């Protein structure tokens, strides 16, 4: 999972990063309202599987960030607060927070909550067709967010999994970027937006790292989009 922390107390950020203890997760952080606002209004938002937001930032309101993020994405959002009054919790939930924790908190418990929210989101938006298939020699399991080959694995983010599923649904045929944008990014495609290209390159890198030949399975169709070749559905 990719997790973004929006927190202006660096000791809290470092405590989270040092004690998260799940190597499958990547944790990034922002320490100001200005940085966070730019992030939420950029295409980077789609790259993250969960966001943690301090409700009381020094230079702005975490609730405002929550409201903006919720208007653009269904990404799970957990609010962090030093104030444990019922009103602040109610405000966060009413604006769209998925969960709420008070300082001091257990990192282990927070990690469990984040993973539970992520799993619930995946189950709410299941792929329409098969969730397990092969890309070249690599086993792709959308449900487990994993690429596996010969005992080695590469984790997938939720967005990477959605892109692979869209490509697989059109396997052997050209898949326009407009289709990938609508079905995986949940928005219309902007030709100036390179988000899809960046994620295709990341997916190729993960496939290649597991098996060099399989990295060529995602073909670029100039002026159109991409095509997934050398794929087959796994038997139940």
159-194 residue pLDDT tens: 888 899 989 988 888 999 988 988 887 777 888 888
Confidence at residue 194, expressed as pLDDT on a 0 to 100 scale: 84
Q: At what angle do helices 158-169 and 195-210 cross, to 10 degrees?
A: 90
Q: pLDDT category, 45, cuts 50, 70, 90?
A: confident
Task: Say if residue 221's pLDDT is above 80.
Answer: yes
- The pLDDT tens digits of the residues spanning 2-32 come to 899 999 998 999 999 899 988 888 899 999 9
Q: What is the pLDDT of residue 183?
A: 81
- Token pair for 89: 């919790």
Task: Give 119's contacts (C-beta < 8 A, 6+ positions apart).
Answer: none
Mean pLDDT of the chain: 86
Q: What is the pLDDT of residue 234?
A: 52
**How many other CB atoms sit within 10 Å of the CB of residue 72?**
14
Q: Does the structure show a pLDDT above 90 at 89?
A: no
Specify the residue for token string 């730019």: 38
**pLDDT tens per residue across span 137-160:** 999 998 888 999 999 999 988 888
**The CATH fold of domain 2-124:** Rossmann fold (3.40.50)
Start-to-end CA span in the chain (Å):
27
CB contact at 8 A, 53 and 62: yes
Closest among 63, 23, 47 to 198, alpha carbons compared: 47
**Residues 127 and 114 sit within 8 Å (Cβ to Cβ):** no
Mean pLDDT for 203-219 is 93
Q: List the chain domain ranges.
A: 2-124, 132-233
Share of residues in the chain with pLDDT > 70 (%):
92
Does domain 132-233 correspond to CATH entry 1.10.3210.10?
no
């Amino acid at each position: 999972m990719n997790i973004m922390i929006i927190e202006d107390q660096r000791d809290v950020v470092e405590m989270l990063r040092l004690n998260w203890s799940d190597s499958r997760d990547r944790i990034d952080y922002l320490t100001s309202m200005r940085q966070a606002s730019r992030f939420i209004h950029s295409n980077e938002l789609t790259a993250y599987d969960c966001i943690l937001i301090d409700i009381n930032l020094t230079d702005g309101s975490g609730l405002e960030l929550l409201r903006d993020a919720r208007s653009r994405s269904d990404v799970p959002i957990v609010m962090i607060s030093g104030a444990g009054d019922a009103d602040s919790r109610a405000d966060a939930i009413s604006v769209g927070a998925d969960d709420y924790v008070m300082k001091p908190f257990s990192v282990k418990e927070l990690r469990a909550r984040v993973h539970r929210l992520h799993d619930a989101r995946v189950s709410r938006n299941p792929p329409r067709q098969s969730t397990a298939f092969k890309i070249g020699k690599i086993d792709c399991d959308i449900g487990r967010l994993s690429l596996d080959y010969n005992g080695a694995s590469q984790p997938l983010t939720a967005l990477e999994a959605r892109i692979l599923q869209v490509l697989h649904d059109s396997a052997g045929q050209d898949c326009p970027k407009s289709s990938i944008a609508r079905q995986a990014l949940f928005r219309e495609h902007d030709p100036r937006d390179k988000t899809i290209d960046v994620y295709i390159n990341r997916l190729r890198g993960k496939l290649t790292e597991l098996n060099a030949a399989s990295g060529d399975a995602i073909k670029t169709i100039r002026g159109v989009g991409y095509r997934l070749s050398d794929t087959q559905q796994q038997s139940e």
